[in-house]
Structure formats: structure tokens, C-alpha cells
Amino acid sequence: MGPDALVTDEIQGGRELIERLVANGVDVRLAFWVKETDAGRWYLYLSLPVVDAEGPMAGYEQVIPVVQGMPEAGIELDSVKVVGITDSMAVAAWKAIRPRIPGLPFADRSPRPYKGVSRVNGSTLGGMDIDAAFIYPPQPVAPA
């Protein structure tokens, strides 16, 4: 993937990864691509409750086998970051797309939808300097 642009293939690959994770029982609450200004590259953030409960290693233990098992998605393991649902980036991403979720009060037309994801331009997300972000629609919570 090029460092400057997130292309349709990466957006689709991320979508496929999220679907496979959910199908494998991983509770992915929110997922989003972020181009970090300092790093100059795109990262796929996966917001998982298990990270808050048990730490990042527990999240990676769920994610790594799925990423490695689907090379066709084109997602490099070093571009995936797991965070908790209370992480500042995850909270900010949720707040950025919440107005776009149908049925919630005050739904509006920003951020702009892009091929099934919402594009967010801005200078920060959760306190991190970013160039842009693409946020997937939130995943439904699996029944207990």
C-alpha cells in the first residue's frame, strides 16, 4: 500500500478482515484506517473489548492468526494495531461517525461516506496527529 493514499483494495481488505474476525468470534467493536502524520503511513486500528479486559497481547492473540490466514486481503501484520474500546483513538473515531449512524438523533451528512466507510479529515484523532482516517461502520455487539 502506498504511504500517501489508502486505496479501494486496502479498504476492501480491511472489510474482509473484519468480517473474518467477527466470524471467528472476535468482538470487533470498531475498525478504522488512520494515516498518522508522524509515521507517514496507514494503520488499521481494531477496537476490541478484550484489550481493555486483558491487555493488548490478548487482542493480538485473537487477530494475528486471522490476518496470517488470509493473505489475499493484502493486510500486512505490521499495519494492524489493536486498541481497547476506551482508547482515545477508538472513542474519537466513534464520536466522528456517530452522527452518520441511521436511527441516532441528530444524524447528519458528515463525515462523508466513502465506499462503505466514513472519511474523516482533520489534524487530530484522539490526541494523535493524523492526515486522514477511514472509519468502518460499527460492528454489532455479539449476544452474550
Q: Give 132-144 pLDDT, tens digit per residue.
A: 888 888 766 555 4
45-84: burial string, b at 16+ Cβ within 10 Å, e else = bbbbebbbeeebeebbebbeebbeeeeebbbeeebbbbbb
**Each residue's pLDDT tens digit, 18-67:** 999 999 999 999 999 999 888 888 999 999 999 999 999 999 999 999 99
Query: Could you tell me the pTM of the whole model?
Result: 0.82
Question: What is the residue-wise DSSP string for 30-77?
Answer: EEEEEEETTTTEEEEEEE-HHHHHH-HHHHHHHHHHHHHT-GGG---G
**Amino acid residing at 116:** G
Closest CA relative to residue 132, chosen from 141, 142, 123, 143 = 123
Q: Whose grid coordinates read 487530530?
A: 124
